[in-house]
Amino acid sequence: MANITTLSQLEALVKSMREHADNIGVKDPAVCFCDELNDDTLVIAEVQDVSNYSSRYTGGVANKGDFCLYLTK
């Protein structure tokens, strides 16, 4: 994954994640990316489902539209 240094790069990444999730029929882009990555990878995902993200990824409060950063293993 390329280094993200500008807002436009972040927006493009989120857009590609959404499109990829739609293409394989998954509504949660973070889940589909976690399932497909085998190495240690930093994933940026926009919160879609508050209850889903707050327990699995953030460990705290998340709001729809927030961005979550986490390392997949």
pLDDT at residue 5, rounded to an integer: 73
Query: What local confidence, expressed as pLDDT, does residue 23 receive?
Result: 78
Tokens read off for 26: 């998954």
DSSP 29-68: HHHHHHHH--S-EEEEEE-S-HHHHIIIIISS---TT-EE
pTM over 0.95: no
pLDDT recorded at residue 37: 47
Structural contact between residues 67 and 44, judged by C-beta atoms closer than 8 angstroms: yes
CB atoms within 10 A of CB 57: 18
**Digit-coded pLDDT (tens) for 25-71:** 766 555 444 444 445 555 666 665 555 544 444 445 555 666 666 55
